[in-house]
Chain A
Amino acid sequence: TQLLEQSPQFLSIQEGENLTVYCNSSSVFSSLQWYRQEPGEGPVLLVTVVTGGEVKKLKRLTFQFGDARKDSSLHITAAQPGDTGLYLCAGVRSGNTPLVFGKGTRLSVIA
């Protein structure tokens, strides 16, 4: 059973388009994190959200944590080829557990 379900699995869009990827669970998380992974590299942290309803912006990326702390979304405005990569959400269920990861959304932005 996957604790964190990410959708879509794959996404291919043209440069300049907007997109949203989702991370959903039936469990409550004390915090959720988003990572981006490029080929041949490890994941790199983009953001951490800890409060239900929280919205964080990182340039063209907007992250939202659901009010019930069971889901999160990542919205990219005007996607660029440099946004191409695997986007992973990861969550902490309680204070004593390591991160659990979703399977990821593989994004391809075509110039």
Chain B
Amino acid sequence: NAGVTQTPKFRVLKTGQSMTLLCAQDMNHEYMYWYRQDPGMGLRLIHYSVGEGTTAKGEVPDGYNVSRLKKQNFLLGLESAAPSQTSVYFCASSRRKESNYGYTFGSGTRLTVV
């Protein structure tokens, strides 16, 4: 039972490079989320999706784009990476947005932008 799988686990980018973080869930969850976690800042929501083909902005969306072409996958893109985007990125999924079931998180992607 894989749950939420994030790839890659680690990545180093140069400023200005682009990349895509992949998130896959096998629980048939409707909702998916991308958070970033920085020291002293907690988890902050970047973008989220309430279903296949739909996305919405979270608290800190600037510099990121997302796509949800398939229900099980949620992609986070950085078009032109900046050092301020150095962070640990977590993907999560849930059965409902206002879920009492909680979110299932992946194990994270540690991104360093130099």
Q: Which residues of A contact B (CB under 8 A)?
A: 2, 30-31, 33, 35, 40-45, 48, 50, 88, 90, 92, 94-104
Which residue on B lies nearest to A102, using beta carbons?
B42
Contact A103-B42, Cβ < 8 Å, known A41-B107, A45-B103 = yes
CA–CA, A103 and B45, complex, Å: 13
Q: Which residues of B contact A (CB under 8 A)?
A: 4, 31, 33, 35, 40-45, 48, 58, 90, 92, 97-108
Cross-chain contact of B97 among A43, A45, A88, A97 (Cβ < 8 A): A97
Contact A42-B106, Cβ < 8 Å, known A98-B33, A98-B58, A101-B43 = yes
A88 and B42 contact, CB distance less than 8 A: yes
Chain B residue numbers with a CB within 8 Å of A103 are 40-42
Told that A43-B90, A98-B33, A102-B42 touch, could you supply 20 new A-B pairs with CB distance under 8 A? Answer: A2-B42, A30-B98, A40-B107, A42-B92, A42-B107, A43-B103, A43-B105, A44-B105, A45-B103, A48-B100, A48-B102, A88-B43, A94-B98, A95-B97, A97-B97, A99-B103, A100-B45, A101-B35, A101-B43, A101-B44
Chain A residue numbers with a CB within 8 Å of B90 are 42-43
Which residue on A lies nearest to B108, using beta carbons?
A42
**Within the complex, what minimum Cβ distance (angstroms) separates B24 from chain A?**
14
CA–CA, A37 and B106, complex, Å: 11
Report 16 cross-chain contacts, Cβ distance below 8 Å, ordered by A residue: A41-B107, A41-B108, A42-B107, A43-B103, A44-B105, A92-B99, A94-B98, A95-B97, A97-B98, A98-B31, A98-B33, A98-B48, A98-B58, A101-B35, A102-B42, A103-B40
